[in-house]
Amino acid sequence: MPQAPQTGESGWGEAPPPSRRPEAAYEQTGAMAAHAYNEPTPYNEATSRNEPPRRNEPTPYNEPGPRGNPRPPGPVPSHGPAPSPGPSPEHEPRRRAPQGSRRRGSGEQETRSRSNQETMVSDGPRRARRSGGGPGGPAEPPRPPEDGDRPRWRRFIPSWKIVVASFVVLSAGIFGMIAVAYANTPVPTQSQVQDGVKDQESIIYDAHGKELARLGTKRVPLELQQVPRAVQDAVIAAENDTFREDAGISFSGMVRSLWSTVSGEQVQGASTITQQMARAYYDGLSQERTIQRKVKEIFVAVKLNKQLPKEQILEQYLNTIYFGRGAYGIGAAADAFFNKKVEKLTPEQGAYLAGRIQNPDAFDLAEKAGKLEATEFRYDYVIRQMAKLNPQAYGGLAAKTPTAPKRIKYKPKDYFQGLRGYMVEAVLNELEARSISREDVDKGGYRIYSTLDMKLMRAAKAAVNQHTGSLTPEINAMLAAVNPTNGRILAFYGGDDYAKDAWNDAFLSQKQAASAFKPYVLAAWLDVGYSLRSWVPTKGPVKLPGTTPIDNDHSMKSSAVDVVAATASSVNTAYAKMGEKVGLDKVIDIASKAGLSETRLKDAESRHHYLITIGSSQVTAVEQAGGYSIFANGGKHFDNHVIIKVEDKSGNIVFTEDKTATQVISPEAAADATAALQAVVKSGTGRSAALYDRPTGGKTGTNNENKEAWYVGFTPQISTAVGMFRQECRTKGGKIVKPVNDTCPWARGKSKKYTMQNPYSTAFEVTLGAGFQGATYPAAIWKTFMTEATKGQKVVPFPPRADTGISEDLVPKPEPTSTPTPTPDPDNLDQGPDESCGFVEPCDEDSNVSVDPNVDDFPENGEEDTGFLGDQDGAGQATMPESSMPSRREQQ
> Residue 12: pLDDT band by 50, 70, 90 thresholds?
very low
Give the model confidence (pLDDT) of 379-397 as tens digits: 999 999 999 999 999 999 9
Mean of the pLDDT values across residues 484-507? 96
pLDDT at position 676:
98
pLDDT tens digits for range 757-783: 999 999 999 999 888 999 999 999 999
Predicted local confidence at residue 629, as pLDDT: 97
Work out the pLDDT band at 370, boundaries 50, 70, 90.
Answer: very high
Give yes or no for residue 19 having a pLDDT over 90: no
- Give the predicted TM-score (pTM) of the model: 0.72
- Per-residue pLDDT reduced to its tens digit, 216-229: 999 999 999 999 99
Q: Of the candidates 612, 620, 644, which has an alpha carbon nearest to the alpha carbon of residue 207?
A: 644
Question: Where does the pLDDT of residue 260 fall: very low under 50, low under 70, confident under 90, or very high at 90 and above?
Answer: low
Distance CA 594, CA 626 (A): 7
Q: Residue 146: its pLDDT value, please?
A: 53
Task: Look at residue 398 in the predicted model and tell me its pLDDT.
Answer: 92
Quick check: 849 pLDDT over 50?
no
Average pLDDT over residues 62-76: 43
More confident residue, 553 or 768: 768
The pLDDT tens digits for 35-46 are 444 444 444 443
pLDDT digits (tens, 9 = 90+) for 331-343: 999 999 999 999 9
Q: Give the CA count within 13 Å in the CB-facing half-sphere of 195.
A: 3
For the stretch 367-373, contacts whose Cβ atoms lie closer than 8 Å and that sit 24 or more positions apart, written own/partner, are 367/410, 368/410, 372/404
According to the model, what pLDDT value does residue 878 have?
33
Cβ atoms of 356 and 323 within 8 Å: the answer is: yes
Mean pLDDT of 356-379: 94
What percent of the chain stands above pLDDT 70? 68
Q: What is the pLDDT of residue 888?
A: 44
pLDDT value, residue 258? 60
271/723: higher pLDDT: 723
pLDDT by residue (tens digit) across 442-460?
999 999 999 999 999 999 9
pLDDT given at position 292: 63
Is 846's pLDDT higher than 60?
A: no
% of the chain exceeding 90 in pLDDT: 57
Comparing 545 with 287, the larger pLDDT belongs to 545
Q: Render 819-888 in DSSP notation, one character per residue.
A: SPPPPPBTTB--S-HHHHS-BSS--PPP------TTS----TT-PPP-S-SSEEETTTEEEPPPEE---H
Provide the 3-class DSSP secondary structure of residue 378. Answer: helix
In whole angstroms, give the CA distance from residue 666 to residue 669: 5
Determine the Cα–Cα distance for residues 61 and 68; give it in Å rounded to an integer.
14
Give the model's confidence band at 164: pLDDT under 50 very low, under 70 low, under 90 confident, else very high: confident
> Half-sphere exposure (CA, 13 Å, Cβ side) for 25?
21
pLDDT of residue 440: 94
HSE-up (13 A, CA, CB side) for residue 166: 6
Pick from 81-85, 202-206, 865-869 the range whose average pLDDT is largest.
202-206
- The mean-pLDDT minimum among 66-80, 736-750, 854-868 falls in 854-868
Q: Half-sphere exposure of 560 toward its Cβ, with a 13 Å CA cutoff?
A: 17
742 pLDDT exceeds 90?
no
Of 474, 478, 504, 469, nearest in space to 739 by CA: 474
Q: Average pLDDT in the 603-625 region? A: 96
SS3 category, 644: strand
pLDDT band at 553 (very low <50, low <70, confident <90, very high): confident
pLDDT of residue 814: 84
The pLDDT-based confidence of 208 (bands split at 50, 70, 90) is very high
Query: SS3 string of 68-132?
Result: CCECCCCCCCCCCCCCCCCCCHHHCCCCCCCHHHHCCCHHHHHHHHHHHHHHHHCCHHHHHHCCC
State pLDDT tens for residues 113-153.
Answer: 444 444 444 444 444 444 444 444 455 555 555 555 556 66
